[in-house]
């Protein structure tokens, strides 16, 4: 661990470092007032950034392990590489920017903050994201997602930009199954049979447009692409048709 | 469609006593009483009565009696009233039958087939009124051996976080939304007063209750409601909920009727929606994944708190429990077949899982055989009714027990099994503000603390009778138990000998 004394920048070489030691170092650095931490040679260490609650910047070079930023509360984590499963699991606040792809259950139960993934994500991305008041998590995916994206969504915004999509066609099935809050915006085409039973299709409202523009502009800034070009094309909104998707299941 | 189900109960109003004060009308949240202004008389709708006795308790003249509706079907050993009426209900609605509380079926209660020992002649019993008796229990992972420095006599072994409870009885997980905020307040205050723990359940922790964090277990369940860093940091113990005895293997739907403004805020879900807890936690599909979440939570709390994992008692609990301990759980909680719920499909509640006594015995035995029993504390729940059950559970191998139904009964619950309707007339299992006022947290806390105080005295008496002065000496001490009316197989699984042998 090297700490730059004048600026509040630190560098960690994560070679052969157990996640417990890595996270302990992060905790110490952040408690000591370090504002930016660069972690090099990351090879699958889990839980990076968990238990950090300040808006520090963390740069990861390599491949972080599962549960990156789980329960995280404020930092901005940029990954130059792919993220694995559970990225942003139950995250409360902060930002995760993945210059690559992310695995399954990206953004599971996120309660706030933003996740940007340049390429695609695995299964069940954005499952059970929530929102309340000014806490409004966002998951922006550059390309596409696998099955059950947006499952059980109770709030927040999920965007599929469809960049580089083969035949312009998303392949996920069961999109938004059990969705009862929040919104999914997508570019590219999705057939009706790919949607969960609880999801409706709509045109974007002015308010939807504002949200979309704000998030796509940020996405483009992070990954250096043409926001206007993306936003020019047609986006469609998926919304929960029912507040109570399973309200009719029971008899008293 | 003509509803075929007849009233289950009959409200009997003694006209010579009724003074027409309408207390019953105001108290009944199921609309079983109404005032007929034309005839100036209070009347009943028997079909709405659930036998919660709220009206009978509060009737100032004792004019009300609730009885079973004597409408008898033709005798039949195969088709009972419940079977027939359940079919009618489903034929009329096409839905799953929903219910509340623990199963009301007559599965064996093994506590009632286990008897405790007492000292006679060969060793003296202890009088707990005069001699110190120790009920203190420490929950958390214990080391395989401890090393003490010969010079400083200080402990050299690094200990995992331990939580001290002064009485081996905690309050079961009951979520805010399933029960009211005033119930949570009552539980939190009582736990604080008695030096034990209460459990938030999976609905998050209301902001006003963070101050009770030192006596709080917070749950992380599949819905992840209210799980945020401050919630994890506030707690004494963090519990991963995999399952619950009343509904093993399935998730939960808190009906929208119970999602009030405050519940919506605490759970972070829109008002008017059902709070949906998926059946699995979608980051746990294996024991390895459980390890991952356990360590995610240890990282998130910087290894300062024990992580508990709660499962429903099912057929292969012993093997699962072994995996859980090896996965890093510091406390494992087993919830048995008779465990209760705020709402569950009746068919699941009444047919899935195994009795807690058998699960406890087999898990404790298995962990001992594998030499890892010390690595986790074992807490059980699901039908603990009195201090006798508690003492037998500890002799059978538990470190502590959780009580849910017993705690609610202490608050006034009459076990009418209407929790899922959100209309609880006793103001317990509801979020309707006009009903939740019926629980005063101060009185509630006193009732709960009184119950624990009474049980503590009784447990000390039983211990003293056995010649034991610390609950630790009873834990897993199955020689202090004998079975009656049990088969050889049952005795073998329970690891106890037949009474008289």
Q: Does A123 touch chain B (CB under 8 A)?
A: no
Q: Name residues 230-289 of chain B within 8 A of A (Cβ).
A: 232, 253, 255-256, 264-265, 267-270, 272-274, 276, 278, 282-283
Distances (CA, A) of B253 to A98, A244, B493: 34, 10, 35
pLDDT for the residue A6: 54
Contact indicator for A180, B273 with CB cutoff of 8 Å:
yes
For the segment A124-164, what is each residue's pLDDT rounded down to a tens digit? Answer: 999 999 999 889 999 999 999 999 999 999 999 999 999 99
Taking CA–CA distances from A103, the nearest residue in chain B reads: B283
Contact B283 A89 (CB under 8 A): yes
Q: Does B223 touch chain A (CB under 8 A)?
A: yes
The 3-state DSSP class for residue A218 equals helix
Per-residue pLDDT of chain B (501 residues; tens, 9 = 90+): 888 999 999 999 999 999 999 999 999 999 999 999 999 999 999 999 999 999 999 999 999 999 999 988 999 999 999 999 999 999 999 999 999 999 999 999 999 999 999 999 999 999 999 999 999 999 999 999 999 999 999 999 999 999 999 999 999 999 999 999 999 999 999 999 999 999 999 999 999 999 999 999 999 999 999 999 999 999 999 999 999 999 999 988 888 888 899 999 999 888 888 888 999 998 999 999 999 999 999 999 999 999 999 999 999 999 999 999 999 999 999 999 999 999 999 999 999 999 999 999 999 999 999 999 999 999 999 999 999 999 999 999 999 999 999 999 999 999 999 999 999 999 999 999 999 999 999 999 999 999 999 999 999 999 999 999 999 999 999 999 999 999 999 999 999 999 999
Closest C-alpha to B363, from B327, B323, B391 = B323
Phi-psi domain of B458 (left: phi exceeds 0; alpha: psi -120 through 50; beta: other): alpha
Most distant CA pair in chain A, distance: 68
Contact indicator for B20, B40 with CB cutoff of 8 Å:
yes
Contact B90 A251 (CB under 8 A): yes
Token pair 């695609």: residue: A120
Of A85, A92, A133, the CB nearest to B229: A92
pLDDT for the residue B159: 95
Q: Does A155 touch chain B (CB under 8 A)?
A: yes
Contact A181 B273 (CB under 8 A): yes
Q: Does A223 touch chain B (CB under 8 A)?
A: no
Residue ranges and CATH numbers for the domains of chain B are 9-95 (3.30.70.20), 137-498 (3.20.20.70)
**Torsion, Cα of B380, B382, B383, B389 (10° steps):** -10
For the segment A70-119, what is each residue's pLDDT rounded down to a tens digit? Answer: 999 999 999 999 999 999 999 999 999 999 999 999 999 999 999 999 99
Of A67, A178, A181, the CB nearest to B269: A181
Residues of A in contact with B280 (CB under 8 A): none
CA distance A214 to A211: 5
% of chain B residues with pLDDT over 90: 92
CA distance B203 to B184: 11
| In the predicted structure, residue A7 carries a pLDDT above the cut 70 | no
Where residue A5 falls among pLDDT bands split at 50, 70, 90? low
Taking CA–CA distances from A252, the nearest residue in chain B reads: B98
Contact indicator for B46, B69 with CB cutoff of 8 Å:
yes
**What does residue A101 show for φ and ψ, rounded to 5 degrees?**
-110, 165
CA distance B244 to B33: 36
Q: Report which secondary-structure segment, H or E, holds B441.
A: helix B441-466
Q: In what order do the strands lie in the sheet with B237-241?
A: B169-171, B400-403, B377-381, B331-335, B307-312, B237-241, B216-220, B198-199
For the segment A8-38, what is each residue's pLDDT rounded down to a tens digit? Answer: 899 999 999 999 999 999 999 999 999 999 9
Contact A251 B93 (CB under 8 A): yes
Is the ipTM, as predicted for this complex, more than 0.90? yes
For the segment B382-431, what is each residue's pLDDT rounded down to a tens digit? Answer: 999 999 999 999 999 999 999 999 999 999 999 999 999 999 999 999 99
CA distance A12 to A3: 9
Q: Does A69 touch chain B (CB under 8 A)?
A: no
Contact A47 B299 (CB under 8 A): yes
CA distance A137 to B382: 38
Question: What does the buried/exposed string (b/e) look like for B324-349 if buried means 16 or more CB atoms within 10 Å of the residue's CB?
Answer: bbebbbbbbbbbbbbbbbbbbbbebb
Q: Does B372 touch chain A (CB under 8 A)?
A: no
């Amino acid at each position: 661990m090297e700490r730059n004394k004048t600026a509040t920048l630190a560098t960690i070489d994560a070679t052969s470092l157990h996640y417990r030691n890595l996270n302990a170092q992060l905790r110490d650095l952040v408690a000591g007032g370090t504002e930016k931490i660069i972690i090099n040679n990351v090879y699958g260490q889990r839980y990076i950034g968990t238990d950090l609650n300040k808006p520090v910047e963390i740069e990861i070079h390599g491949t972080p392990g599962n549960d990156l930023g789980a329960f995280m509360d404020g930092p901005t984590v940029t990954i130059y590489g792919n993220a694995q499963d559970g990225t942003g699991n139950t995250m409360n606040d902060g930002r995760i920017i993945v210059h690559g792809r992310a695995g399954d259950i990206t953004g599971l139960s996120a309660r706030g903050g933003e996740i940007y993934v340049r390429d695609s994500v695995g299964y069940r991305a954005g499952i059970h994201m929530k929102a309340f008041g000014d806490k409004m998590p966002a998951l922006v995916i550059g390309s596409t997602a696998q099955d059950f994206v947006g499952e059980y969504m109770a709030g927040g915004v999920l965007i599929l930009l469809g960049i580089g999509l083969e035949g312009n066609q998303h392949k996920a099935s069961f999109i938004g199954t059990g969705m009862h809050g929040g919104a999914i915006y997508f570019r590219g085409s999705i057939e009706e049979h790919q949607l969960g039973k609880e999801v409706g299709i709509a045109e974007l409202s002015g308010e939807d447009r504002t949200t979309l523009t704000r998030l796509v502009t940020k996405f483009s800034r992070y990954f250096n692409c043409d926001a206007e070009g993306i936003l020019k094309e047609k986006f469609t909104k998926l919304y929960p048709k029912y507040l109570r998707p399973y309200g009719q299941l029971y008899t008293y | 469609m003509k509803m075929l189900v007849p009233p289950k109960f009959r409200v009997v109003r003694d006209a010579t006593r009724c003074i027409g004060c309408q207390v019953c009308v105001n108290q009944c949240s199921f609309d079983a009483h109404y005032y007929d202004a034309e005839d100036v008389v209070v009347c009943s709708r028997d079909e709405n009565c659930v036998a919660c006795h709220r009206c009978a308790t509060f009737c100032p003249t004792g004019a009300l009696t609730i009885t079973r509706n004597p409408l008898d079907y033709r005798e039949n050993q195969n088709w009972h009233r419940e079977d027939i009426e359940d079919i009618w209900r489903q034929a009329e609605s096409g839905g799953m039958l929903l219910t509340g509380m623990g199963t009301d079926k007559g599965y064996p209660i093994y506590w009632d087939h286990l008897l405790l020992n007492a000292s006679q002649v060969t060793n003296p019993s202890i009088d707990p009124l005069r001699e110190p008796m120790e009920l203190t229990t420490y929950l958390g992972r214990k080391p395989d051996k401890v090393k003490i420095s010969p010079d400083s006599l200080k402990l050299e072994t690094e200990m995992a976080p331990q939580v001290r409870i002064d009485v081996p009885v905690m309050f079961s997980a009951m979520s805010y939304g399933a029960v009211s905020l005033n119930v949570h307040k009552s539980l939190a205050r009582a736990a604080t007063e008695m030096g034990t723990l209460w459990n938030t359940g999976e609905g998050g922790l209301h902001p006003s209750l963070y101050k009770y964090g030192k006596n709080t277990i917070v749950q992380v369940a599949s819905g992840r409601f209210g799980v945020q860093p401050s919630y994890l940091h506030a707690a004494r113990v963090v519990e991963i909920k995999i399952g619950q005895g009343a509904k093993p293997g399935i998730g939960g739907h808190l009906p929208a009727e119970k999602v009030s403004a405050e519940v919506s805020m605490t759970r972070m879900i829109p008002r008017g929606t059902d709070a949906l807890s998926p059946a699995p936690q979608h980051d746990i599909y294996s024991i390895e994944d459980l390890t991952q979440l356990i360590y995610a939570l240890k990282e998130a709390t910087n290894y300062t708190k024990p992580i508990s994992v709660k499962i429903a008692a099912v057929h292969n609990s012993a093997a699962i429990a072994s995996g859980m301990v090896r996965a890093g759980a510091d406390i494992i909680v087993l919830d048995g077949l008779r465990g209760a719920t705020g709402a569950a499909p009746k068919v699941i509640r009444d047919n899935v899982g195994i009795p807690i006594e058998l699960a406890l015995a087999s898990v404790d035995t298995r962990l001992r055989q594998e030499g890892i029993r010390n690595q986790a504390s074992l807490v059980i729940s699901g039908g603990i009714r009195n201090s006798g059950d508690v003492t037998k559970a500890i002799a059978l191998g538990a470190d502590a027990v959780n009580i849910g139904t017993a705690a609610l009964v202490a608050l006034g619950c009459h076990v009418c099994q209407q929790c899922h309707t959100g209309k609880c007339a006793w103001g317990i299992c509801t979020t309707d503000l006009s009903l939740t006022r019926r629980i005063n947290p101060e009185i509630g806390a006193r009732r709960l603390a009184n119950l624990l105080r009474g049980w503590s005295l009784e447990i000390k008496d039983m211990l003293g009778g056995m010649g034991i002065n610390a609950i630790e000496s009873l834990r897993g001490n199955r020689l202090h138990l004998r079975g009656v009316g049990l088969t050889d197989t049952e005795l073998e699984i329970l690891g106890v000998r037949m009474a008289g042998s």
